[in-house]
């Protein structure tokens, strides 16, 4: 029961985090509560005391206060509508020019959500102040301090609007998008590397001479989260081991084997195990570095499409992919999670290096095989990876296969002898 509740809370957290309205709603709620508290605690005596000490800052005319607040409400509503329109334009442009998979990352950009939330909060704050001011009210009964705060929020909204325009113009630039994807994917790889250092890398457990019993998925979805501690505890209690067949973040079909156990499980234990596996449909780079590779690859492919034709962006994306693949070469394909007695209880599968390289480079060479400059760039990237310090023979073999495939495609698509001669120099 607790595990199911934890998975539901985790799913809700991811939904809120990737929602464009969650943080603005929370900020607006805080502003509303603040307005309610200020209007409650502010008394005529407090207003009179503030007026005596700072009379120029306190508005004691009800009609003036209502006019100012009404004007501010209308102005901030206009800013809010314009800002939301800018966000929609940003999302549409990013989806059309780069990749629809970028939308969750752009939607969840916290500075933009804060600005929108501040706008909505200011509107609610001013409305609550406005409805508490009656025409012809006694000057000492006007919540002067709260009205002052409401008015000061107007210039703050203007400053945030300037920041918003600057930030949104920066976030749509492809160089900034590529840097963000690179940074997020590198962070995901580094967290996985640190986890391997804390636990132990492992070989394929299926290759061992032992019997494994399959557990079939009961639903379709992406394997987003795994309750590792619960699975390890269950495995230790029943003296067995578990081995996942899919890397985290990969899609699992209904009826497909999702996990193996070293002992045959009864129905109750099977249900318990499936409660420790959380499925979703969101591609979160922090959960799985593969999503970062996919988005960078799709941006590169879109850049080389006839409608976009932006080889400069394709080169930049290829450089980032090369760096990230080099980082992936520092890790194995499996990770074993130990119990308290340092016995392996859970084997986690990582996206195999061979599959990752093939997924990225096979799609790329299909689009760039006709472009001699990008073909040379890709040969240079593969050569760099092969010469990476510490690269084992298996890694270089995988990369050499990609070099051979790239040369075959280049020969079929490039007819100019001079271009082929320059490309041939990379084969040495």
pLDDT in tens, 244-283: 888 887 888 888 998 888 888 888 888 888 888 888 777 7
- pLDDT, one tens digit per residue, over 27-53 is 999 999 999 888 888 777 766 776 666
Say if residue 15's pLDDT is above 90: no
pLDDT at 273: 87
Say if residue 214's pLDDT is above 80: yes
**At 4, which helix (H) or strand (E)?**
helix 2-17
Q: What is the pTM of this model?
A: 0.80
pLDDT at 27: 92
- Nearest CA-CA partner of 288 in 339, 329, 249: 249
Mapped onto helix, strand or coil, the DSSP state of residue 310 is coil
pLDDT at 32: 92
Say if residue 95's pLDDT is above 80: no
10 — pLDDT class (breaks 50, 70, 90): low
pLDDT at 140: 53
- pLDDT, one tens digit per residue, over 311-345 is 888 999 999 999 999 999 888 777 888 878 778 88
- Segments in 249-343 forming alpha helices (H): 267-275, 290-303, 311-328
pLDDT at 315: 92
pLDDT at 54: 63
Cα distance between residue 106 and residue 93, in whole Å:
11
- pLDDT, one tens digit per residue, over 386-410 is 888 766 777 888 899 999 999 999 9
pLDDT at 141: 62
pLDDT at 39: 85
Question: Between these two residues, 18 and 407, which has the higher pLDDT value?
Answer: 407
Q: What is the mean pLDDT of residues 353-370?
A: 89
Least confident piece of the model among 143-157, 199-213, 222-236, 305-319: 199-213
380 — pLDDT class (breaks 50, 70, 90): very high
pLDDT at 12: 65
Question: Between these two residues, 243 and 210, which has the higher pLDDT value?
Answer: 243
- pLDDT, one tens digit per residue, over 110-166 is 888 889 899 999 999 999 988 887 665 555 567 777 888 888 999 999 999 999 888
- Nearest CA-CA partner of 38 in 151, 155, 129: 129
Mean pLDDT score of the chain, rounded to an integer? 83
- Nearest CA-CA partner of 398 in 367, 366, 352: 352
DSSP-derived letter for residue 213 is E
pLDDT at 239: 86
pLDDT at 158: 92
* Residue partners of 381: CB distance under 8 A and separation at least 6: 318, 319, 321, 322
Cα distance between residue 371 and residue 310, in whole Å:
12
């Amino acid at each position: 029961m607790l595990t199911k509740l934890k998975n539901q809370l985790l799913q809700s957290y991811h939904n809120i985090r990737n929602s464009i309205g969650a943080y603005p709603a929370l900020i607006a709620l805080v502003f509303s509560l603040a307005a309610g508290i200020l209007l409650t605690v502010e008394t005529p005596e407090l207003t009179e005391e503030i007026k005596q000490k700072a009379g120029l800052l306190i508005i004691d005319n009800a009609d003036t206060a209502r006019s100012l607040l009404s004007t501010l409400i209308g102005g901030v509503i206009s800013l809010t509508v314009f800002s939301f329109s800018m966000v929609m334009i940003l999302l549409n442009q990013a989806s059309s020019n780069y990749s629809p998979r970028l939308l969750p990352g752009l939607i969840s950009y916290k500075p933009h959500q804060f600005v929108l939330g501040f706008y909505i909060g200011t509107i609610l704050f001013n409305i609550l102040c406005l409805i508490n001011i009656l025409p012809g009210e006694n000057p000492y009964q006007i919540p002067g301090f709260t009205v002052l705060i409401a008015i000061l929020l107007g210039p703050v909204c203007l400053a945030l609007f300037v920041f918003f325009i600057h930030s949104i113009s920066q976030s749509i630039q492809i160089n900034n998008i590529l840097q963000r994807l690179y940074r997020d994917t590198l962070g995901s790889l580094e967290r996985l590397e640190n986890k391997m250092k804390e636990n132990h890398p492992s070989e394929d457990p299926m290759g061992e001479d032992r019997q494994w019993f399959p557990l079939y998925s009961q639903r379709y979805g992406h394997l987003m989260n795994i309750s590792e501690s619960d699975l390890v505890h269950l495995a230790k209690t029943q003296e067995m081991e578990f081995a996942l067949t899919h890397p985290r973040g990969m899609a699992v079909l209904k009826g497909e084997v999702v996990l193996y156990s070293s002992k045959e499980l009864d129905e109750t234990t099977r249900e318990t195990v499936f409660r420790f596996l959380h499925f979703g449909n969101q591609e979160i780079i922090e959960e799985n570095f593969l999503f970062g590779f996919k988005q960078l690859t799709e941006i590169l492919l879109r850049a080389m499409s006839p409608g976009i034709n932006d080889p400069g962006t394709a080169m930049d994306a290829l450089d980032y992919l090369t760096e990230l693949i080099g980082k992936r070469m520092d890790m194995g394909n499996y990770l074993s999670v130990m119990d308290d007695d340092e016995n392996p209880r859970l084997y986690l599968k990582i996206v195999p290096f061979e599959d990752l390289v093939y997924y990225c480079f096979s799609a790329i060479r299909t689009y760039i095989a006709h472009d001699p400059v990008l073909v040379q760039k890709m040969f240079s990237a593969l050569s760099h990876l092969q010469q990476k310090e510490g690269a084992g023979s298996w890694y270089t073999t995988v990369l050499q296969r990609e070099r051979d495939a790239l040369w075959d495609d280049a020969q079929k698509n490039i007819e100019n002898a001079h271009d082929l001669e320059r490309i041939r120099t990379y084969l040495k």
